[in-house]
Amino acid sequence: MSKQEAELITIATIKKRLNDKDLQCHYYEAIVNSTKDMIALTDGERIIDANTSMIHTCHLMGKTIFSDDFSFSDFFVRIDKFGYIYEGYHNKRWYELALECSDEGCRVGIMNSNAMHSFNLTLTRLEPFEAIYVMTLTDVTSLMGYKTTLEEGIKSSMKDRDRTQFLLRQYDKAIDSATLVYKCDLNGVISYVNKALSKVLLYGYGELIGKNISIFRGPSISDIEYSATWDKLRQGKIHRAILENIDKLGGIHYFDVTMVPIHDENGAIVEFLSLRHEITEVMEAKEEALKTLQEKNKFFDQVSHELRTPLNAIINFTDQALESFDEIFLDEESRDLVRMYIERSHKNSQHLLHLINSLLDMAKLRAGKEKYEMVVINIVTFVQDVYEATDALNDKTTVEYLLELPEKDIFVKGDVLRLRQVLGNLVSNALKFTERGYVRLRVKERDDECLIEIEDTGRGISEDKLDRIFEPFEQVGTHDQGTGLGLGIVSEYIKGMGMRLDVISSVGEGSCFTLKITIIKQPNGDETWKI
């Protein structure tokens, strides 16, 4: 008898036993027909017997499972995503692959119209038969859908997480580059400093870790203010302020600071976070503006005083002249008195006009509206001309007015009118404040500079006024005559022409003003100023 004939006899025997419905078979039949799982006896291709769920499900799928043309190789399909098995896959029959899965089982797919159903498949050999198997199919289509959805959800979540982390890194990078950040513990010991803050305060990256934040404390922050800040932070309050800090080299910086207490999950403060923006330039601009405002207020106060003095004199002398006007026709003494009043009024009027003109010049200079006509000048010839023009100012027999010039010509660039006014003012002051000795106007060359010195043996300038003599209305002596604007205008002219002026002075011994001008090596003859 052949093996095939033996298998047919076996199948017939099994069917006969099932149809006989003995008690044991009836017991098992009741169990397999009550479950939703699809259970069948099979030789690997044909179905020998099946439970109600198997028959019903296959019928819904349009499959006639007991027909001669039914085959599991056509019934099962492979889906790459889950590795479903099918006949001939890896050169093995589907049930051979299923048997290799042991107790773990495997998944198969069954196509219904355009829909794919997923089943967990277990296959066991029916003892003592060699080629008869008990197959169980459990529908996991919904579970696989959930699995797919879950997988897609996880992937989407991973993408969202990666995207969120990427954005957080971008935000962190933006904050790190735009904001100055440090963290410290409850005692003020620094645990983190970003590169931006380290750079601003001139420290190397990581150099501040482990140091106390008091290293930043500016000199103007008092102990009381410093302690109050820490008390506020330890109470869990956010602290906002404009703080003065110092860098590694002692330089002053100003920051707009927000300090935030950081809490753990139990609400306890574990550290402090400082976020800050540098506003040093803003604070310096503010200080400069306040200083300028103070100077302007001082200037206008001084202007008011200076204008009031000659104006009051003019009014008083004019009133006195008017009161004596009727008497001048009868009394010669009254005529002389009125003349004196009018002369004094005229003198004060000239003084007032000079003061107003000086104020207008100063205003134009401060506003940057003064234009300079820079030309090449033979400074040796020019200074000699200034000397001759100012020689008449020396009306003191006890003062000698001297001139020292080099033998060769020296060329510089300057505005002829302004340079003449500068030198004339400096010479005039030297002659005015020198009672005996000399005033020397000297030109000499040093390296690439021309030095014009106005040296005197006069009263000198005290050290406390030496730095302020170029400010408006500052005068050397308390009772000096003049507006006090001359040196201020001189200073502005010198700056405008790109020159420098140094002063050396000693009270009772004299002063030396040195004007420094860059020499022009090869002047253009057409531009050279000529007397």
Q: How confident is the model over 196-209, as pLDDT tens digits?
A: 888 889 999 889 99
Residues of the chain under the 70 pLDDT cut: 1-32, 77-92, 101-105, 113-114, 142-178, 293, 295-313, 316-317, 320-331, 334-335, 338, 341, 346-348, 350-370, 472-486, 522-531
Task: Assess if CATH 3.30.450.20 describes domain 179-278.
Answer: yes
The topology under which CATH files domain 285-366 is Helix Hairpins (1.10.287)
CA distances from 392 to 87, 384, 387, 405, 513 (A): 129, 14, 9, 20, 21
Let me know if the fold of 179-278 is the same as that of 285-366. no
Q: What is the pLDDT of residue 191?
A: 92
| pLDDT score for 203 | 92
Task: Write down the pLDDT at residue 482.
Answer: 45
Helices and strands in the chain, H and E counts: 14, 17
The pLDDT, as a whole number, for residue 317 is 67
Region at 202 (left for phi over 0; alpha for psi -120 to 50; beta for the rest)? left
Superfamily of domain 3-139 in CATH is PAS domain (3.30.450.20)
Residue 516 confidence (pLDDT): 96
CATH 3.30.70.1060 fits 374-518, yes or no: no
d(CA 497, CA 205): 46
State the pLDDT at residue 59. Answer: 80
Closest CA to 192 of 174, 201, 177, 180: 180
Position 355 scores a pLDDT of: 59
d(C-alpha 417, C-alpha 377), whole Å: 12
Domain extent listing, the chain:
3-139, 179-278, 285-366, 374-518
Contact 134, 28 (CB under 8 A): no
Query: What's the length of the chain?
Result: 531
| Structure confidence at residue 512 (pLDDT) | 94
- What b/e readout covers 45-79, taking b as 16+ CB neighbours within 10 angstroms? ebbbbbbebbbebbeeeebebeeeeeebeebbeee
Write down the pLDDT at residue 145.
Answer: 56
**What is the per-residue pLDDT for 271?**
92
pLDDT at res. 518 = 94
